Structure formats: C-alpha cells, structure tokens
C-alpha cells in the first residue's frame, strides 16, 4: 500500500509537468523553516466557526466542596455575565444558548438554564435549550452550536455545560424494562461505570500499579499547573454561600480555585485504597474521576463576525465525531472517536499537539492513550478529571476551555488540539480545534526525518 508520504509526493510531483507557454511553473525548494512548502496557507474563511471566549467555574468536590450549596442557575449566570463582559458582545446578539447537563431533572434543568440567562441580563428574545449525551454533553453543546452557525441559523451562539452533583447524584429513576435481559448490549447499559472500568482493565491488561501511577501523574500535573497560575485565565470566581448542615447558617464566600487537586498524592497513599466495584479489582476512588460541581461555557461565532467586532480568536472548531462502542467497556470510546474526528478534520494523529482526554477512570484513559500510540506528554498536560473532577454535563466544555488556553500559551508550538471522552452506555466523542487567527504553516513546520526534505508535512492532497 502506498504510504501517506508517497501519496503526497505523487500529487506534488504532478505540479512539475510541462506547462503551457506563458504560464509560470512552480519550483521545488527547501525553505528556511526546514519545510518544502512553496506556499502559505492562511485559515481566514469568513464562515469558520470560532471561539472567542471559553471560561469555567472552579471545579469543587460534590457534597464537601466550595460549590456544594450553589445551584445550576447561579453557576451558569456567573459565566454568562463574564463572557459578555469580557467580549463586549451585546446579549441580544446571541442566536441560541445550548447547555449540556446530565443529572438535573430534564424540564427543571432546562428551566434553570433559562432562569440563568435572565440572571445574567440576557433578554427574553434569546432562546435556551439543553442537551444530554451523558459525559459528552458539554462538548455536544459546542458541536451543536457550531453546526447551527455553520448552517446559517444564527451568527453568534453560547454553548456550555453544568452539573450540580451535590444535589443531583447519579441514580436510576423508576423500573427497568424486563426485556433488557434479552439483549446483551442493553443489559450492559445497566452496568455501573466502575464495573465497566474493571472490564477495560481486565480485557486489556491495565493493572492496579499502572492505574495508580496514572492517577499520581494527574494530580502532580494539576498541582503544578495551579501553582503556575495556568488555570487563572479560564476560571471565573463564583460569589456564593456555604450552608452549615447543622445550624443552617449561611456564610458568604468567593470560590476561585479547584479544590480536588492533591499534589501530595503518592503511590503509597493510593495503594492503601480498596477496590470499590469488584472484589480483588483494580479500580478505586483514587484512580477514578472525582464527583464534582461546576460549569463551563464557550462563546462562538463566525470568523467574519469576530473580525467585525475586533475580537481575538481563541480557537477554530474544525470537526466533531460521536461513535458507539460496546457498553460493557464504554471507556474505550476515545480510542474510536479520536481517529474519527481527526480524519474528518483532514489530519493525522501526529498532527495533534495537545489532547484533553477525560479521565473518567485511569484504566480507560490509559488504554485509550496507549491504543492510539499517543505521546503521553501531549495528553492532559495540566492534569485531568482524576485531579480536577468530572462534572458530567460540563466536562466537555471544561476540557475545551483548558485546551484552548493551553494552546494559546504555547503559541506557534501548538496548532491543533483534541477534546475527547468516553460516554456511559457505550459511546465516545471527540472534537478537533485549531488555534485562532491566521496560520502560516511555515512557522509550525516540523523537521522531516531522512534525506527527503522537499515535502511539506502540512500539504493538503
């Protein structure tokens, strides 16, 4: 089979066929950047869907953390206000607000999101809706708004997610259809998520030591990022209250930092924890994501609108994919969704500079990374959900905020990024983002191994 490089070279070589008299031929030469591209490609399509602001609340431990007594409307309204104030976008310009949420009662959560918009001063003419694709709901909201903007339904949209796991714990309501037992995949949809983690660990040989080591790295990276102030650009402090469970007394507080990060986590401390989903299992509270309260949003619009308003472009939405997998090992979702989204963006895995992969469990996150052959240094450089927490409906939007701000800090060293997660009941989702502004591939070219230095890695064929 012809290699990708050979295919690109074959296409490029056709440019050197004899030309009609009077036409200027193309010369092939190595440029000073160590790349052969005899062109500049600038991503300036007016209908590109771009993100001009991507913010989140702090993420705090459910039942015990700083946002345990804060409801969804207050979390969201805080972010809505911040996005509008920082960008100067008039609220009536928003064509739609789409919010991902998983555990809040459906109609009630939809009402809470609508109420949040009024708290933020958004007029009644701006519609609001919710979306639920479980753990990918926040990313699905971003994809839905991107699709609507691309379709021309509106020019400016607000997407995000929220979860209040202190007041809305995971639970099954009502009875279970008896026919579930007749369909193995349907029966697997009923498995606790921790059991699916044990299934992944057993099937793919991810042992306890590997999972605990992964968890330690997550906490260490998150602690280092917080100490370096890397989360400040994406976090909006929340003015709220804490209620004394015994007296009911309220204390006003401002929550400004994530409270689940434990930089002192060690293999010894994690090793003392018992498996909670299976006797002699490997999945523990220490190598699983935290149950968390929080919210995140992204303000999106066409590139033309961003330019007209003079707003800096944080990132460009390039592609999205949602896929189905075996519900019994639902954690493998990213290993299937990431290649699909990357291919839809016309890229290869090694074109991606930063990955934000949700750490629902160390077992599945580790498996997905190794299955795809990813450089772990590119994955969750500021820690993941094991350290930061996993507010189900908000996670996709939270990961997007963390990714885009990290890419902005890296400048020309990071062009493409991916957000991905597994999804309960057996799915995976992923989206590809590109850094904002005009992009000149000559400035981000990588050296080509071997004697052949004449083919651009970024060439589109």
Place of tokens 């699905």: 140
Round to whole Å and give the CA distance between 439 and 437. 6
Q: What is the pLDDT of residue 410?
A: 95
CA distance from start to end of the chain = 17
Number of domains the chain is built from: 1
Q: How far apart are CA 143 and CA 55, in angstroms?
A: 16
Nearest residue to 436 via CA among 55, 178, 49: 49
- Quick check: is 219 catalytic? no
Q: Domain for residue 10, yes or no?
A: no
- Whether 393 and 266 have beta carbons less than 8 Å apart is answered as no
Per the CB < 8 A criterion, the answer to whether 110 and 130 are in contact is yes
pTM: 0.87
Question: Is the model more confident about 448 or about 172?
Answer: 172
The answer as to whether 5 is a domain residue is no
**CA separation, residue 288 to residues 43, 100, 282 (Å):** 39, 22, 10
> What is the distance between the alpha carbons of residues 382 and 102, in angstroms, rounded to a whole number?
25
Residue 449 lies in a domain: no
Contact 238, 67 (CB under 8 A): yes
Dihedral sign, Cα of residue 121, residue 124, residue 125, residue 130: positive
Provide the percentage of residues in the chain whose pLDDT is more than 70: 85
Decide if 405 is catalytic: no
Domain that holds residue 240: 45-167+184-434
pLDDT, averaged across the chain: 90
Q: Is 2 among the domain residues?
A: no
Is 29 within a domain? no
Q: Report the CATH number that the domain containing residue 105 is assigned in CATH.
A: 3.40.47.10
Name the nearest CA neighbour of 214 among 265, 259, 258. 265
Radius of gyration for the alpha carbons in the chain, expressed in angstroms and rounded: 23
Q: How far apart are CA 338 and CA 320, in angstroms?
A: 9
Asked whether residue 1 is assigned to any structural domain, the reply reads no
CA distance 62 to 98: 24
What's the rounded Cα separation, in Å, for the pair 447 and 451?
A: 11
Residue 172 belongs to a domain: no
Q: Lowest-confidence range among 25-29, 172-176, 226-230, 400-404?
A: 25-29
Convert the pLDDT of each residue in 157-211 to its tens digit.
999 999 999 999 888 888 999 999 999 999 999 999 999 999 999 999 999 999 9
Q: Is 390 a catalytic residue?
A: yes
What value does the mean pLDDT take over residues 61-70? 97
Cβ atoms within 10 Å of 30's Cβ, excluding its own: 13
The catalytically annotated residue of 113, 399, 405, 422 is: 422
Distance (Å, whole) CA 16 – CA 10: 11
Q: Where do we find the tokens 């044990």?
A: 198
Return the C-alpha torsion angle 436, 439, 443, 445, nearest 10. 100
Q: How far apart are CA 262 and CA 220, in angstroms?
A: 8
What's the confidence (pLDDT) of residue 436? 81
Residue 421 CA to residue 399 CA, distance in Å, equals: 10
Contact 104, 169 (CB under 8 A): no
Instruction: Tell me the per-residue pLDDT of 273-327, one tens digit each, with 9 for 90 and over.
Output: 999 999 999 999 999 999 999 999 999 999 999 999 999 999 999 999 999 999 9
What is the rounded distance in angstroms from the CA atom of residue 166 to the CA atom of residue 162? 12
What local confidence, expressed as pLDDT, does residue 123 receive?
98
pLDDT confidence of residue 444: 46
- CB atoms closer than 10 angstroms to residue 227: 10
Provide the greatest CA pair distance for the chain. Answer: 90
In three-state secondary structure terms, 299 is: strand
Task: For 339-360, write each residue's pLDDT tens digit.
Answer: 999 999 999 999 999 999 999 9
Query: Rounded to an integer, what distance in angstroms lies between the CA atom of residue 172 and that of residue 425?
Result: 13
Quote the CA–CA distance of 98 and 91 in Å, as a whole number: 14
> Which residue in 113, 219, 390, 399 is the catalytic one?
390
CB 391 within 8 A of CB 295: yes
Of 135, 219, 399, 405, the active-site residue reads 135
Q: Are 235 and 56 a contacting pair, CB within 8 Å?
A: yes
Average pLDDT rounded to a whole number, residues 423-438: 91
Written as six digits, the tokens of 330 are 């639902």
Is there a domain that residue 75 lies in? yes
Among 215, 359, 363, 217, smallest CA distance to 282 is for 363
């Amino acid at each position: 089979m012809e290699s990708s490089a050979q295919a690109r070279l074959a296409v490029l070589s056709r440019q050197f066929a004899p030309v009609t008299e009077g036409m200027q031929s193309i010369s092939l030469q190595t440029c000073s950047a160590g790349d052969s591209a005899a062109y500049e490609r600038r991503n300036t399509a007016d209908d590109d869907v771009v993100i001009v602001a991507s913010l989140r609340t702090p993420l705090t431990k459910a039942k015990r953390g700083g946002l345990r007594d804060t409801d969804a409307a207050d979390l969201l309204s805080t972010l809505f206000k911040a996005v509008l104030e920082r960008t100067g976008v008039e609220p009536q310009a928003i064509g739609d607000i789409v919010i991902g949420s998983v555990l809040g009662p459906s109609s009630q959560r939809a009402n809470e999101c609508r109420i949040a918009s009024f708290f933020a001063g958004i007029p009644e003419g701006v519609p609001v809706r919710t979306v639920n694709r479980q753990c990918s709901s926040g990313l699905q909201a971003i994809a839905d708004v991107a699709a609507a903007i691309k379709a021309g339904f509106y020019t400016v949209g607000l997407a995000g997610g929220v979860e209040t796991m202190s007041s809305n714990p995971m639970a099954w309501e009502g009875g279970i259809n008896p026919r579930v037992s007749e369909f193995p995949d349907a029966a697997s949809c009923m498995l606790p998520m921790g059991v699916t983690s044990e299934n992944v660990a057993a099937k793919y040989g991810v042992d306890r030591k590997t999972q605990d080591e992964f968890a330690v790295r997550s906490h260490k990276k998150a602690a280092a990022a917080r100490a370096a102030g890397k989360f400040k650009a994406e976090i909006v402090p929340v003015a709220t209250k804490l209620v004394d469970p015994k007296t009911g007394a309220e204390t006003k507080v401002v929550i400004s930092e994530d409270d689940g990060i434990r930089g002192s986590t060690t293999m010894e401390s994690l090793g003392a924890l018992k498996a909670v989903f299976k006797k002699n299992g490997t999945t523990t509270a220490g190598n699983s994501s935290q149950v968390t309260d929080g919210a995140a949003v992204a303000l999106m619009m066409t590139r033309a609108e961003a330019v007209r308003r003079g707003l800096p472009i944080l990132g460009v939405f390039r592609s999205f994919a949602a896929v189905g997998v075996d519900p019994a090992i639902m954690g493998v979702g990213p290993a299937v969704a990431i290649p699909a989204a990357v291919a839809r963006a016309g890229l290869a895995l090694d074109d991606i500079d930063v990955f934000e992969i949700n750490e629902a469990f160390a077992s599945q996150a580790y498996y997905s990374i190794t299955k795809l052959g990813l450089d772990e240094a590119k994955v969750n450089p500021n820690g993941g959900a094991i350290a930061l927490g996993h507010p189900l409906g908000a996670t996709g939007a939270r990961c997007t905020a963390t990714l885009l701000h990290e890419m902005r800090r890296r400048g020309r060293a990071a062009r493409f990024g991916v957000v991905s997660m597994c999804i309960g009941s057996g799915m995976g989702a992923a989206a590809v983002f590109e850094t904002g502004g005009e992009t000149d591939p000559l400035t981000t070219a990588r050296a080509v191994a071997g004697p052949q230095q004449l083919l651009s890695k970024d060439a589109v064929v």
